[in-house]
Structure 1
Amino acid sequence: MKGSIKKNKQTGKWDFVIDIGKDLITGKRKQKKKRGFKTKKEAEKALTALLNELNEGSYIEPSKQAYSDYMYFWIGIKAHEMSIQTLKAYQSYLKSHISPSLGQVPLSSLTPIHIQSFVGDLRSKELSESTIKRIYNVVNASLNAAAKTELIKKNPASTIEKPKVVAKETVIWKWDEVSSFLDSAMSSPYYVAFLLAVTTGMRQGEVLGLRWRDVDFANECLYVRQTLTHDGKGFKEGAKSKAGSRSVGLDAFTLSALKKQKKQVAECKLKLGIAYTDNDLVICSSNGKPINPRNLLRSFYNLLEKSDLPKIRFHDLRHTHASLMLQQGENIKLISERLGHSSVKITLDTYSHVLPNMQQEASNRLANKLFNG
């Protein structure tokens, strides 16, 4: 494989041309040309580097495709792997942020500087760091795919300083605060939803997507096999992750509350007849339709406003469940399985704030046995 160098009579600079193989579609010879070198030596150096890449099989023909066009194509390919909510988020990021800043840049011309400047632009819009990180992750994933399919040599987003999210301190309730909340929530139509969040650690979507067929009264457990989407308009089979599809043991109090709930649901179903929409849901409206997550949260925060309890998010009921179980000395592996974490490490990292107190209590218990026994 050879190339030729010659001086351009019109510009006075040096150019080279080289055969880079045949077009797979037309079968015609393909050539690569580079112009505008100040000296013959510069042209020879560039030609030698290109020849080495061709001989080693590492040469990638630069793509002229605009990055936004590639992104639409990539999201289209990935769509079948995503939930409707995730797909909408990706499309929104592309339309509102990615395309206006990076869309017209050719995919092969993107550099780390482009990506770093893009992250800076996102910060100038005063977006939250968590949102900036999510948008960056989409860009990074798309460029990883481009590098893997040899559209580009290297992912330009892989070398920049990645956005970081400083974890907010999690607020959890104490034993008496949980009891106080559940007492005040007893009259709420969403009482069983709040109870399940506290006693099982289920996520909001998991609670609202729970079906009666997934409640096993005989074996005193339930199975997380379906979640309600964030917009409350559909269901997703399985859980947030593969490990999220799980069984969770139930206590006698929660089982009793579920039996009462089942009786109430059956009465509504009988009363409405064919007007009842039977989704087999544990937590549902009087006509059987799923509860809008916003209505659940509105009810939750209204209850908090009327109480003297520390203000927490609904998701913090899950954190409260895990922390209280840790405090009472339950096995960390068991807790991790109840929460649907893919590894014990995630559980330990998430609830490390609880561990120092547990260490001290364990030391005191050992000392009491040793010296006061």
Structure 2
Amino acid sequence: MKGSIKKNKQTGKWDFVIDIGKDPLTGKRKQKRRRGFETKKEAEKALAALLNEVNEGTYIEPSKQLYSNYLNKWLKGKEHSLSIQTLKLYKSYMKTHIVPALGYLKLSALNPLHIQEFVTELRNKGLSQTTVKRIFNVVNASLNNAVKMELLKKNPASSIEKPKWDSKEITIWNLQQVISFLKVAKSSPYYIAFLLAIMTGMRQGEILGLRWKDVDFKNECLYIRQTLTHDGKGFKEGAKSKAGNRSIGLDANTLSVLKQQRKIVITNKLKYGSAYNDFDLVVCTSKGKPINPRNLLRTFNNVIIKANLPKIRFHDLRHSHASLMLQQGENIKLISERLGHSSVKTTLDIYSHVLPNMQKEASNRLASQLFNN
């Protein structure tokens, strides 16, 4: 491979041209030109760097397609791996935020400054930190894929300081509040759903999609292998992510309540006979159909009112589970695995607000052992 440098008589600046091999389709020689260097030394440096990439086989031809076009193709390729709700959310983020801000740029022209300014603009719109993080994650994932497909040499989003989750948005109950909630909820037909959320940290869709064949009474655990969609109209095989396909250990009390629930289900099967819709669900209507998520949330909110507790979202039962486990000193890796997070870092990012108190308690425990003997 070789290249040559010349001074452009019209612009007074330095240009170079490099031979990058033959086109595999036409057999013709391919050349790459770079123009507009202020000095010969700058041109020589850029030429040497490009020659090195070509010789080492790391050179990637800059993509000419617009980021908006690439983004649509990328999302289309993920249609079968994303849930209906997640797909809708991604499309909304793309239409409202990503494409208007970045879609007009060529994929190869995107740089860290574009991404940083985009994130800043999202914050200036008044969006929550969590929403900003989620939108950034869509951009980041799409660009990681572009690198994998050899359309980009490097992901420009990897160089910026990534947005963090807003821990202030997470509202949790303390131990006494959880106990009060469960006491009132015990008379609800959805008690088992509430108990599973608190004792396992399962997501709503995971609880409503749980089947009896996924509950292992012998080994005292359950497996996340199916979820109910957000609209309650269908099931999705697997969990939210690969890490979400997991097993979760169960305590004796939860196992006992599950056995009671199984007796109720068997009784209903015998009662309704052929009219029973057997989806093998743990949490279901008396005739076996999936629970409408809206009905579950309506009952959940009514129980909160009866128990005279601060209002939280159903998903915050999952956060309460994680926070209570952290506070009692459980291993962070174990908690991360129970929640189905892709890494311990995700768990730490979400629950970092719990850690300062844990540090203080740990210091006090150590001090009591050292100085109170």
> Normalising by structure 1, what TM-score?
0.79
- Summarize deviations over 1:120-139 as a string: whole Å, max 9, x none: 33234332221111111221
Output the CA distance in 2 between the equivalents of 1:329 and 1:192. Answer: 26
Output the CA distance in 1 between the equivalents of 2:313 and 2:89. Answer: 22
Q: Superposed, which structure 2 residues align to 1:283-362 within 5 Å?
A: 283-324=283-324, 338-340=338-340, 350=351, 351-352=354-355, 355-356=358-359, 358-359=361-362, 362=365
1:180 aligns with 2:180: yes
Output the CA distance in 1 between the equivalents of 2:346 and 2:5. Answer: 58
- Summarize deviations over 1:294-333 as a string: whole Å, max 9, x none: 3222221222123322333323333444455566676777
Shift of 1:99: 1.7
| Counterpart amino acid of residue 54 in structure 1 | L
| Counterpart amino acid of residue 359 in structure 1 | A
Cα distance, 1:48–1:343 mapped onto 2, change above 3 Å: closer
Larger mean CA deviation between 95-104 and 305-314 belongs to 305-314
Larger mean CA deviation between 329-338 and 85-94 belongs to 329-338
Output the CA distance in 2 between the equivalents of 1:110 and 1:342. Answer: 27
Larger mean CA deviation between 12-21 and 222-231 belongs to 12-21
Output the CA distance in 2 between the equivalents of 1:149 and 1:307. Answer: 54
Q: Superposed, which structure 2 residues align to 1:1-373 within 5 Å?
A: 1-3=2-4, 5=6, 18-33=18-33, 46=43, 49-50=46-47, 53-57=50-54, 59-168=59-168, 171-240=171-240, 241-242=242-243, 245-252=246-253, 254-324=254-324, 338-340=338-340, 350=351, 351-352=354-355, 355-356=358-359, 358-359=361-362, 362=365, 366=369, 371=373
- Summarize deviations over 1:276-302 as a string: whole Å, max 9, x none: 321100101233222232322222122
SS at match of 1:132: helix
Tell me, yes or no, if the aligned pair for 1:279 and 1:289 is still in contact at 8 Å: yes
Alignment gaps of 5+ in structure 2: none
Cα distance, 1:357–1:293 mapped onto 2, change above 3 Å: farther
Output the CA distance in 1 between the equivalents of 2:167 and 2:13. Answer: 56
Count of aligned pairs between the two proteins: 365
Tell me, yes or no, if the aligned pair for 1:129 and 1:164 is still in contact at 8 Å: yes
SS at match of 1:157: helix
Cα distance, 1:126–1:7 mapped onto 2, change above 3 Å: closer
Cα distance, 1:306–1:228 mapped onto 2, change above 3 Å: same
Output the CA distance in 2 between the equivalents of 1:219 and 1:12. Answer: 77
Shift of 1:272: 3.5
Tell me, yes or no, if the aligned pair for 2:243 and 2:341 is still in contact at 8 Å: no
Larger mean CA deviation between 299-308 and 311-320 belongs to 311-320
Output the CA distance in 2 between the equivalents of 1:157 and 1:294. Answer: 37
Cα distance, 1:344–1:90 mapped onto 2, change above 3 Å: closer
| Counterpart amino acid of residue 50 in structure 2 | E
SS at match of 1:152: coil
Tell me, yes or no, if the aligned pair for 1:200 and 1:250 is still in contact at 8 Å: no
Cα distance, 1:127–1:306 mapped onto 2, change above 3 Å: same
> Normalising by structure 2, what TM-score?
0.79
Percent identity among equivalent residues?
62
Cα distance, 1:325–1:96 mapped onto 2, change above 3 Å: closer
Shift of 1:246: 0.8
Output the CA distance in 1 between the equivalents of 2:95 and 2:153. Answer: 26
Output the CA distance in 1 between the equivalents of 2:345 and 2:63. Answer: 41
Whose Rg is larger?
A: 1
Alignment gaps of 5+ in structure 1: none
Larger mean CA deviation between 169-178 and 193-202 belongs to 169-178
